[in-house]
Amino acid sequence: MLPRWPTYDLFDIKLALYSLFPARMPHGGVFLCSSDTIELFDESHINTNWLLTNDFVAFAHPSSLSVGTQHGVFVLDPTDKRKCICVLQKPTIEQMKSHKAIWCHGDEEFVYTDSLYYFNMNVAQRLADIYRQEHNIQCEIDCYGDFMNPLGICPLPRPIGNENDNNNNNQQCIRIKQKLYDALLDCHLQVIILHKSSFNHTGTNDEYLDICCGNGRAGQEIFDELKLEKHVGCKVFDESRHDTIDFWHGILPALPHGDTLHHQPSAPDVHGCVIHSFIHPKCRSSQRSLLEYCCIGIPMHIGENTILSNITFVTYSDFNQNILYLPSNLIMQTIPLNDELFATFAFGFYDNMKITYNNNNKIMYFGQTLSIIAKKIHRHIDDLFDDENNKSLWTLKIFPVTKNPNESFEKTLKLILSNDFIMSEKQYVSIQEILKRRDISLTIQYRSNLINCT
C-alpha cells in the first residue's frame, strides 16, 4: 500500500496511473481497463502525437509468449504498427506463429498484448442501441473478446453457434454476440504501443500476494516504482480491552494514531503485508501472507499463502494452547449480511472455484469429503446445494450464519481444524449467497473505523 494518509487502494493507484489520458479525450468517450491489473509505463517513451478520437484506441504492451496465451494479442501490420490486422483471443503459440503475431528483439521473442482501451461516443451509441433492443436477454458479454473480435483490417470470423445445441439461452447469447459483431465491424482501431511498460496481472491468489508483499519480479518492480510499504496503519492489540472494542458497531478504542506496528513494545513477529489491523503481540506471520482490516486478539501463527480479511477474533471458546496455528494455503473473510448477521467463508489458496461436479464424492473441502462436512454441520448431504445441476465450491452451503463476527470466524475455523466439531445452526450459506446478501454499507463503516483508529 502507498504510505500516505489515508491509505491509497488499487482503485486510487489506477486513477493516478491513468491521469494522462483524460486530457487526450477531447470529445469524451469510454476508457476501459481491467480491475485486476496494474500497468506501469514511462510517459516520456510514449509518442505524444495522438488523441483518443478514433472509434477504438487500444494500448499494447510487449509481453512474453506465455503471457500472450492468457490475453488478447494484437496482430500488427509490419510496415505500420499503428494498423491492426486482427486481435487474437488467448491464442496458442502456434496460432501466434501462423498469424505472424510474434516479434523479435535480438534472441528474445515477444507479442503485443492488450490491456486498456478507449472507444468514442459513436461506438457507445451503437452499444446502447443494442442494449435497448435486447435488455431482456441475459447474456454474458466479454468487453475484450466480444468487442475486439470484429476489429482490424482482417478481423476474426463472425461467431457461429452449434447447430446441435438446443439450449435456448446459448442460442440467444450467440445471436447477441453476432449482433455486436455486425455493429462494430466497420469501426476503426488504432493501436498505441507502450514500449517501456509492464503489464502486471493481480487476478490469481499467487499474483495478488506477490504484489501485496513485494515478492517476485512483478511484486518487487511495483513496490520500487510506486514506493509501496508492506505495513500500513497497524497497531498492537491491547489484551486488557478486548471486551470494549467492536469496530463493526463503532465501539472504538481510545488509542492515538502514533506509532506503526514495529515501533511499539512487544511488537508481533509479522513478515507479511498488514493493512489497518490490530494484531496480538504474540502473533507471527509468514512473508507470503496478507492481513487486511483485521482485529486479532488471540496469539496466532499465520502460515504461507494466507489471506485474512475483515476478521474479528478476540475470544476463542476452546482456546487452551499458547498459540493457535492456522493451516497454510488459507483464505478467510468475514462478510456482514443483511439483518445484522455475519458469515465467514474459507477456502484453500489453490482451490478451483469454477469446477462443477456431478458426483458428491469428488468434492473435497480441506481434505474432507462432503459426507464428513455434512455430519459436522448436522445436515443431510443433499441439503448442501440448492441446485443438483450446479455443484461447486462456489455454491456449497456450509458456512454458518451467526449474530456476531467473532463467532462467525470461530465456527468456520473449527469446520476446518476440528475433527469432532459438531454445530447446528439455523442457516448455512454458500459464498454465492453471501455475496448476494452482503451489507456493503456496514463493511465500509467497519473499515472506516479501523482506518481512523490505526
**pLDDT tens readout for residues 164-208:** 666 667 888 999 999 999 999 999 999 999 887 787 888 889 999
First to last CA, the chain: 14
Which grid cell is 161? 453457434
pLDDT score of 337 more than 60? yes
pLDDT band at 5 (very low <50, low <70, confident <90, very high): low
Q: Minimal CA–CA distance to 235: which of 260, 205, 266?
A: 260
> 128 in helix, strand or coil?
helix
pLDDT score of 240 more than 90? no
Give the other-Cβ count within 10 Å of 258's Cβ: 8
Mean pLDDT is highest, among 49-53, 59-63, 135-139, 232-236, for 59-63
- Read off the amino acid at residue 146: D
pLDDT band at 259 (very low <50, low <70, confident <90, very high): very low
C-alpha distances out from residue 451 to 179, 252, 329, 364, 438, Å: 47, 11, 27, 37, 21
pTM above 0.75, yes or no: yes
Q: What is the rounded CA–CA span in Å between residue 287 and residue 220?
A: 13
Question: Where do the H-state alpha helices sit in 361-430?
Answer: 370-376, 405-417
pLDDT band at 23 (very low <50, low <70, confident <90, very high): confident
CA atoms within 13 Å, Cβ hemisphere of 443: 17
Is residue 237 within 8 A of residue 278, CB to CB? The reply is: yes
Which comes out higher in pLDDT, residue 144 or 423? 144
The mean of the pLDDT values for the chain is 87
CA triplet 253, 257, 262: central angle to 5 degrees?
Answer: 105
pLDDT score of 451 more than 90? no
pLDDT score of 378 more than 70? yes
CA triplet 197, 202, 206: central angle to 5 degrees?
Answer: 120
Of all residues in the chain, what percent carry a pLDDT higher than 70?
Answer: 89
Q: Minimal CA–CA distance to 434: which of 353, 354, 333, 361?
A: 333
- What's the pLDDT score for residue 4? 47
- What's the pLDDT score for residue 252? 64
Task: Give the domain ranges of the chain.
Answer: 10-201, 230-453
> 20 in helix, strand or coil?
coil
Which comes out higher in pLDDT, residue 74 or 322? 74
C-alpha distances out from residue 250 to 234, 246, 253, 278, Å: 18, 6, 9, 15
| Lowest mean pLDDT segment, chosen from 124-128, 238-242, 322-326 | 238-242
Question: Beta strand pairing status for 300-302 and 273-279?
Answer: unpaired
- Read off the amino acid at residue 452: N
Q: What is the rounded CA–CA span in Å between residue 272 and residue 270?
A: 6
pLDDT score of 133 more than 90? yes
pLDDT score of 370 more than 70? yes
- What's the pLDDT score for residue 160? 87
Stated as kind and residue range, the H or E segment containing 97 is helix 93-98
DSSP 8-state assignment for residue 438: B
* Residue 130 backbone dihedrals phi, psi, to 5 degrees: -65, -40
Q: What mean pLDDT is predicted for residues 344-355? A: 95
Question: Beta strand pairing status for 399-400 and 368-369?
Answer: unpaired
pLDDT score of 324 more than 70? yes
pLDDT score of 127 more than 70? yes
Is residue 213 within 8 A of residue 219, CB to CB? The reply is: yes
Beta bridge partners of 274: 231, 291
Which comes out higher in pLDDT, residue 101 or 237? 101
Stated as kind and residue range, the H or E segment containing 329 is none
CA triplet 402, 406, 411: central angle to 5 degrees?
Answer: 60
Across the chain, which distance is largest between two alpha carbons, in Å? Answer: 72
Q: What is the rounded CA–CA span in Å between residue 194 and residue 280?
A: 46
pLDDT score of 150 more than 60? yes
Would you give the distance in Å from CA 253 to the centre of its chain? 31
- What's the pLDDT score for residue 3? 45
pLDDT score of 162 more than 90? no
- Read off the amino acid at residue 342: F
pLDDT band at 425 (very low <50, low <70, confident <90, very high): confident
